[in-house]
A and B are shown apart, each in its own frame.
Chain A
Amino acid sequence: MKVWATSTRWSLGMKMSLTAGLVMGALVAFSATHRAAADELRGTGDMGLVVERASGSLLVVENTTRTQLARVEGLGDLSHASIVYSRDARYGYVFGRDGGLTKVDLLTAKIDARVIQAGNAIGGAISQDGRLVAVSNYEPGGVKVFDAQTLKLVADIPTGSKTVGLVDAPGNRFVFSLYDEGAIWVADMSDPQTPKITKFENVGTQPYDGLISPDGRYYIAGLFGEDGMVMLDLWNIDKGPVRILDGYGRGEEKLPVYKMPHLEGWAMANGMAFVPAIGHHEVLVVDTTTWKEVARIPAHGQPVFVMAQPDGRQVWVNFAYPLNDTIQVIDTQTQKIIKTLTPGKGVLHMEFTARGEDVWMSVRDLDLIKVFDTASFEQRAELPGLKPSGIFFTWRSGRIGL
């Protein structure tokens, strides 16, 4: 009898604190996972970070379980934030709008180091040897280079212009574009204290973003002020930049551009490159041997990200405001749109898992991250997130230009 009585009292007590208990339980479970990550041996290869742009926080996520493991707070203004990874894929370097450069440990879900290195920044890159992290800045315009381990300033490269499209290139170089000056600079960081700069002036009007081909050979800057792009062949750098896709708008009037396209995820697949047409509801298809336009694919809206699956079989596209509730999938063999999804308003970014079986999407206005199967297009999972934007998985750590 006594045993039963005790048991009853215990369960009464449980009921009384049911709500509190549930909340506590959830918190304990959350931090237990987080602690497990720090204490137990594990790799980071199926992990990633999701930017929560409005709250200045990040989610640490895991691909295999399609879950979030922890939240990291205190990263400042993360509008337009992007992330690169250390070569051991343990640390993410987060480039914030407010000039914050933050090194985040994925295993402990803690900030390892943080500096405010400029007034207004736009993105960054990590060097080939993994020792240097560079940030491109709007204000004051230029590139600052930091020691990847300590975040101590190593070199300051003022440009006198908003600086965009910063990527790493083989030979421990950084390549970037000067928005106001219409220039491309290549900084050789072989001797980190004294960068050797090669400057290409008058390459075109308002380069707004840049990318490097996955093999590290071609740097390509998109031009906002002109219908065209500029390409620099880093294997034959003495030949200088050349114009490609000149006049892709064919004189048609541009539509208002409510969101600048992003070239970081520029899709090269099946011998072709798929690029967003600025001010047009089209994806352009370019032959990567001749660099000539071979097709244009009418799309739902103005493309922002045009991203190839790791296998290159399909290309996924999201769109500018106000058509940003939709995703379209292009078959790279037929160059036709084969699927239109509507994950919800404010699809800001997509990221594939390392081998591309899943694609994660941030749906800002629903405060959700949705995960889709890239073969069946079925939704596999959804995770809560606060105004999620960029999603960055650790497989980027070993890729040139990412």
Chain B
Amino acid sequence: MKHWDLKVWTPKPVLKLGAFYAVLALVTGSVAAAAVAKDISPERKTELRYVLEQDCGSCHGLTLKGGLGSPLLAGKLAERDAADLASIILDGVPGTPMPPWRPLIQPHEALWLAQILKSGDLGQ
């Protein structure tokens, strides 16, 4: 359970990594996307898809049509940059209930989640 103890989490090193991935994604675009997806094990992808559906779904709706949180349907995210979306996942939206997921989700995983949201291919 220690693993999940959010109080002991220190954000500093990961922040740098997040910035690095955001820049990487902007510069290299889809090449980075492919690399990012490859870095995540199939088991972790299953877990992340599950978290996306069930736990993000608590606020954004199981079908991602929105709720207390905004809709996350592919059509609504078409104009949004994947790296921006990833940074919202990682750092949340201050002043709203959208929490920072950085303690639980790695930056490259957030980018991958942003990409599958944009693609609409949630594998469900």
Known: A225-B95, A260-B97. A77 touches B55 (CB 8 A): no
- Which residue of B7, B57, B66 is within 8 Å of A255 (Cβ)? B7
A79 in contact with B55 (CB, 8 Å):
no
Interface residues of B in 56-75 (CB under 8 A from A): 57-59, 61-63, 65-68
Is A316 an interface residue when CB atoms closer than 8 A count as contact?
no
B66 in contact with A321 (CB, 8 Å):
no
Q: Which residues of A contact B59 (CB under 8 A)?
A: 260
A138 in contact with B99 (CB, 8 Å):
no
Interface residues of B in 62-109 (CB under 8 A from A): 62-63, 65-68, 92, 95, 97, 99-101, 103-104
Is A390 an interface residue when CB atoms closer than 8 A count as contact?
no
Q: Which residues of B contact A321 (CB under 8 A)?
A: 51, 55
Nearest-CB distance from B62 to chain A (Å)?
4
- Which residue of A53, A98, A162, A208 is within 8 Å of B65 (Cβ)? A98
Q: Which residues of A contact B104 (CB under 8 A)?
A: 258, 322
Is B31 an interface residue when CB atoms closer than 8 A count as contact?
no
A256 in contact with B55 (CB, 8 Å):
no
B68 in contact with A256 (CB, 8 Å):
no
Is B54 an interface residue when CB atoms closer than 8 A count as contact?
yes
A322 in contact with B4 (CB, 8 Å):
yes
A97 in contact with B4 (CB, 8 Å):
no
B97 in contact with A120 (CB, 8 Å):
no
A77 in contact with B7 (CB, 8 Å):
no
Nearest-CB distance from B11 to chain A (Å)?
11
Nearest-CB distance from A96 to chain B (Å)?
10
Bound Cα distance from A98 to B95, whole angstroms? 26
Is A18 an interface residue when CB atoms closer than 8 A count as contact?
no
Is B27 an interface residue when CB atoms closer than 8 A count as contact?
no
Interface size class of B (residues with CB under 8 A): 20 to 34
Q: How many residues of A contact B (CB 8 A)?
A: 32
Is B6 an interface residue when CB atoms closer than 8 A count as contact?
yes
Is A259 an interface residue when CB atoms closer than 8 A count as contact?
yes
A120 in contact with B66 (CB, 8 Å):
yes
Q: Which residues of B contact A53 (CB under 8 A)?
A: 62
Q: Which residues of B contact A364 (CB under 8 A)?
A: 54
Known: A260-B68, A323-B4. A80 touches B100 (CB 8 A): no
| CB-CB nearest in chain B for A326 | B1
Known: A257-B97, A322-B104. A138 touches B58 (CB 8 A): no
Bound Cα distance from A311 to B1, whole angstroms? 32
A79 in contact with B67 (CB, 8 Å):
yes
Bound Cα distance from A125 to B9, whole angstroms? 41
| CB-CB nearest in chain A for B51 | A321
B67 in contact with A122 (CB, 8 Å):
yes
| CB-CB nearest in chain A for B6 | A255
A256 in contact with B61 (CB, 8 Å):
no
A257 in contact with B66 (CB, 8 Å):
no
Bound Cα distance from A141 to B97, whole angstroms? 18
| CB-CB nearest in chain A for B92 | A256
Is A95 an interface residue when CB atoms closer than 8 A count as contact?
no
Is A274 an interface residue when CB atoms closer than 8 A count as contact?
no
| CB-CB nearest in chain B for A300 | B1
Bound Cα distance from A54 to B103, whole angstroms? 27
B67 in contact with A120 (CB, 8 Å):
yes
Nearest-CB distance from B42 to chain A (Å)?
18
- Which residue of A120, A162, A258, A323 is within 8 Å of B55 (Cβ)? A258
| CB-CB nearest in chain B for A253 | B7
Bound Cα distance from A387 to B57, whole angstroms? 13
| CB-CB nearest in chain B for A324 | B55
Contacts A97-B65, A122-B68, A225-B95 known; 15 new A-B pairs at CB < 8 A? A53-B62, A54-B53, A79-B63, A98-B61, A120-B67, A224-B97, A256-B99, A256-B103, A257-B97, A258-B99, A258-B104, A259-B58, A281-B7, A321-B55, A387-B54
26 intermolecular pairs with C-beta atoms under 8 Å apart: A77-B62, A77-B63, A77-B65, A78-B62, A79-B58, A79-B61, A79-B67, A80-B58, A97-B67, A98-B61, A98-B63, A120-B65, A120-B66, A120-B67, A206-B97, A256-B6, A258-B101, A259-B55, A259-B58, A260-B68, A321-B55, A322-B104, A323-B4, A346-B54, A364-B54, A387-B54
Interface residue ranges, A against B (CB under 8 Å): 53-54, 77-80, 97-98, 119-120, 122, 138-139, 162, 179, 206, 208, 224-225, 255-260, 281, 321-323, 346, 364, 387
Sorted from nearest, which 7 A-B pairs have the closest CB atoms? A256-B99, A79-B62, A321-B55, A322-B4, A256-B100, A255-B6, A257-B99
